[in-house]
């Protein structure tokens, strides 16, 4: 059995995947990621823009990681809302989640950790259309 991977090391490893890790929302044993996949409108100031995308929570139990994710809307206040993705943006949101999942899966393999879906994830990585 590989040695236990420390919280700080996991943060560094997950941050190396790309701009997905939300370190300020992480705690030991629980890691949060998200992706602002599609900008709703470029007209507002950058800090007030809204997006369609996803967020994912990864929970650790020793060398086991379970994930669950949600699709939704990132509002101007910086909050994620559970809303169906408009059909015209589905493919892009799904593409970004699938890309991230591959990167996360590869990272877990490198760390000799097992990655699996939490019980509440019943479908393959799929998006529900609005």
Going from N- to C-terminal start, the domains of the chain cover: 7-117
Angle at 32 between CA 91 and CA 44, to 5 degrees: 60
- pLDDT top residue among 76 and 123: 76
Q: Is the pLDDT of residue 31 over 50?
A: yes
Average pLDDT rounded to a whole number, residues 4-10: 88
For 7-117, CATH number out of 3.40.720.10, 1.10.260.40, 3.30.310.230, 3.40.50.300 equals 3.30.310.230
Q: Is the pLDDT of residue 22 over 90?
A: yes
Whole-model pTM: value is: 0.88
Task: Measure the CA–CA gap between 93 and 128, rounded to whole angstroms.
Answer: 11
Cβ atoms of residues 1 and 59 within 8 Å = no
């Amino acid at each position: 059995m590989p040695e236990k991977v420390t919280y700080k090391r996991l943060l560094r490893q997950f941050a190396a995947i790309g701009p997905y890790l939300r370190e300020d929302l992480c705690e030991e044993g629980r890691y949060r990621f998200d992706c602002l996949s599609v900008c709703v409108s470029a007209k507002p100031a950058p800090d007030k823009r809204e997006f369609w995308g996803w967020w994912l929570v990864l929970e650790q139990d020793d060398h086991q990681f379970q994930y669950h994710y949600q699709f939704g809307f990132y509002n101007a206040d910086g909050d994620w809302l559970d809303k169906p993705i408009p059909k015209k943006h589905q493919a892009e949101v799904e593409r970004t989640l699938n890309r991230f999942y591959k990167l996360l899966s590869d990272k877990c393999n490198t760390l000799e950790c097992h990655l699996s879906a939490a019980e509440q994830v019943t479908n393959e990585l799929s998006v529900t259309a609005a």
